[in-house]
């Protein structure tokens, strides 16, 4: 059955509003990117966002509201502080512009414009989506799309902040992932219609094809009478909780497993702990199917970026959060094509997904060992070299003091001898031990 969306507002009215809304929120994201890494604990990171208004880092002058207008405020100041003339990085208006364009893009792709457009034109559409399981009920299709757009925008904002911080400092603070993950679980449970596809789906016709190669004892598991459990429709809120929690667990466990295996084989940190929380957050928003696809797409994007930029080094660490976020964004905004042409048949295998998953985890370390073997054949060091030590001024002072522990070596001792000389050199106790009074 076709479902139609009644979007009466024209694009020339809606899209400029989304652009301005995205620019305003982008200004707030700049604050988050600057202040969150300054604190260590989750609570301190959250408090740092609202502890005071925006100000110049050099002269500490508060920024007036008319200078804090997104994009145009920076242009009116010509990129300098009004009080002291300190240059303001162009990064701030660029982030505001980027976020504004993301708002426009997400709305344009996920909400079809027109008086009577099919819901299937939405980029997040799937035949087994919420309009089918559990159904929209009394909620209009347009309201459903708006709820899901807002839901996805929260994820995009969190990923943008986490990616910018990871790009700058190679960390992903908890404040960029943990609160958003909790929000995703609660929102998915309360509404029950924000997911992309159900938590579980199996194609009976596809499963019957496996009966040819599997023992007869397993045949009852491959001929289910249902493709989606009935309680997904009768208990939408519980199903929403299941979708979110399953995505959270799969996203976190997938990254944690790759991190553990990669670190053991390569003898270096394969992925950071922040990446675990980032993919857990993605799974809580999008479900486990989209999370798995986004994870593998991110690996391809990271490899391609390193090759294109000619910066590929076997001992070089790269921030992986931006690639995870980019892969998630691509999957989310092209979900209709991804699900229809690729993911639908793969994720419809039902019980067969379990042996396939185990096979992938077995093949992954074998692939890493194969890469290590190729490096060995090419004469490339298998493991990154130990970092060279740095000779500091303190090391030099300690060396000199150790070489000349006796200040009186080569000259007559002075009398009276001020103890402060020996204390300042750090040799007071050595001299007292050698020359007891």
Residues 348, 248 share a domain: yes
Give the total residue count for the chain.
437
Enumerate residues 6+ apart whose C-beta is below 8 A from 120: 2, 3, 336
Q: Is residue 129 part of a domain?
A: no
Q: Is residue 19 part of a domain?
A: yes
Enumerate residues 6+ apart whose C-beta is below 8 A from 349: 202, 203, 206, 207, 356
- Indicate the residue among 121, 151, 179 that finishes a domain: 121
Residues 358, 303 share a domain: yes
Task: Report pLDDT digits (tens) over 283-324.
Answer: 999 999 999 999 999 989 988 887 777 555 544 678 899 999
Q: What is the pLDDT of residue 314?
A: 47
Total structural domains within the chain: 3
The pair of three-digit structure tokens given for residue 284, joined into one six-digit string? 């809580």
Residues 353, 308 share a domain: yes
The label of the residue with tokens 């809120």 reads 237
Residues 21, 108 share a domain: yes
- Say if residue 426's pLDDT is above 60: yes
Enumerate residues 6+ apart whose C-beta is below 8 A from 40: none
Q: Which domain holds residue 26?
A: 1-121
Mean pLDDT of the chain: 84
Three-class SS of residue 394? helix
The label of the residue with tokens 């675990």 reads 276
The label of the residue with tokens 């190669």 reads 213
Task: Report pLDDT digits (tens) over 205-256.
Answer: 666 666 666 666 665 655 555 578 889 999 999 999 999 999 999 999 999 9
Q: Is residue 137 part of a domain?
A: no
Q: Is residue 354 part of a domain?
A: yes
- Say if residue 433's pLDDT is above 80: no
Q: Is residue 260 part of a domain?
A: yes
Residues 287, 377 share a domain: yes
- Indicate the residue among 356, 373, 388 that finishes a domain: 388
Q: Is residue 130 part of a domain?
A: no
The alpha helices in 223-287, defined as continuous H runs, are: 231-234, 236-266, 273-286
Backbone angles phi, psi at 114, to 5 degrees: 135, 160
- Indicate the residue among 87, 121, 155 that finishes a domain: 121
Task: Report pLDDT digits (tens) over 375-394.
Answer: 778 776 766 666 666 777 77
Residues 296, 178 share a domain: yes
Residues 369, 260 share a domain: yes
The label of the residue with tokens 């911080």 reads 165
Q: Is residue 133 part of a domain?
A: no
Greatest Cα-to-Cα distance within the chain, rounded to the nearest angstrom: 105
Residues 205, 327 share a domain: yes
Residues 258, 333 share a domain: yes
Residues 358, 229 share a domain: yes
Of 216, 215, 220, the C-alpha closest to 351 is 220
Q: Is residue 234 part of a domain?
A: yes
Q: What is the pLDDT of residue 105?
A: 97
Indicate the range of 152-166, 310-324, 391-405 predicted with least confidence: 391-405
Residues 381, 337 share a domain: yes
387: left (phi over 0), alpha (psi -120 to 50) or beta: beta
Residues 262, 172 share a domain: yes
Q: Please state, in angstroms and as integers, the Cα–Cα distance from residue 101 to each residue in 22, 128, 280, following that order.
A: 7, 29, 26
């Amino acid at each position: 059955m076709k479902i139609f969306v009644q979007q009466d507002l024209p694009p020339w009215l809606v899209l400029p509003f989304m652009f301005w809304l995205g620019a305003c929120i982008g200004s707030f994201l700049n604050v988050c990117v600057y202040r969150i890494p300054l604190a260590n604990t989750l609570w301190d990171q959250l408090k740092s966002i609202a502890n005071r208004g925006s100000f110049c880092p050099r002269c500490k002058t508060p920024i007036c509201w008319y200078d804090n207008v997104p994009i145009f405020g920076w242009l009116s100041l010509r990129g300098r502080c009004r009080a002291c003339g300190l240059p303001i990085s162009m990064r701030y208006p660029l982030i505001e512009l980027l976020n504004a364009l993301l708002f426009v893009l997400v709305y344009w792709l996920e909400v079809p414009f027109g008086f009577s457009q099919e819901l299937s034109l939405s980029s997040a559409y799937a035949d087994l989506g919420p309009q089918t399981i559990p159904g929209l009920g009394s909620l209009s299709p347009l309201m459903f799309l708006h709820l899901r757009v807002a839901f996805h925008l929260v994820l995009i904002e969190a990923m943008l902040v986490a990616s910018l911080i990871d790009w700058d400092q190679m960390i992903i603070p908890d404040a960029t992932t943990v609160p958003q993950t909790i929000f995703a679980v609660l929102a998915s449970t309360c509404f029950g219609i924000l997911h992309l596809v159900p938590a579980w789906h199996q194609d009976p016709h596809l499963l019957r094809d496996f009966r040819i190669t599997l023992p007869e004892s397993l045949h009852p598991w491959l001929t289910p009478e249902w493709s989606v459990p009935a309680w997904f429709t009768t208990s939408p809120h519980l199903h929403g909780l299941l979708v979110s929690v399953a995505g959270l667990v799969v996203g976190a466990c997938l990254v944690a497993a790759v991190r553990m295996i990669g670190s053991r084989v390569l003898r270096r940190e394969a992925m950071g702990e922040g990446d675990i929380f980032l993919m857990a957050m993605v799974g809580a928003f999008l479900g486990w199917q989209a999370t798995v696809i986004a994870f593998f797409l991110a690996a391809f994007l990271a490899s391609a970026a390193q090759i294109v930029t000619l910066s590929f080094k076997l001992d070089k660490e790269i921030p992986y959060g931006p690639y995870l976020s980019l892969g998630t964004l691509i999957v989310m905004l092209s979900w209709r094509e991804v699900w229809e042409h690729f993911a639908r048949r793969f994720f419809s295998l039902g019980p067969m997904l379990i042996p396939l998953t185990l096979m992938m985890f077995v093949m992954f370390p074998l692939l890493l060992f194969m890469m290590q073997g190729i490096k060995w054949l090419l004469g490339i060091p298998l493991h990154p070299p130990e970092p060279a030590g740095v000779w500091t001024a303190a090391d030099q002072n300690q060396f000199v003091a150790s070489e000349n522990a006796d200040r009186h070596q080569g000259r007559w001792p002075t009398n009276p001898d001020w103890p402060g000389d020996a204390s300042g050199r750090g040799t007071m106790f050595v001299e007292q031990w050698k020359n007891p009074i």
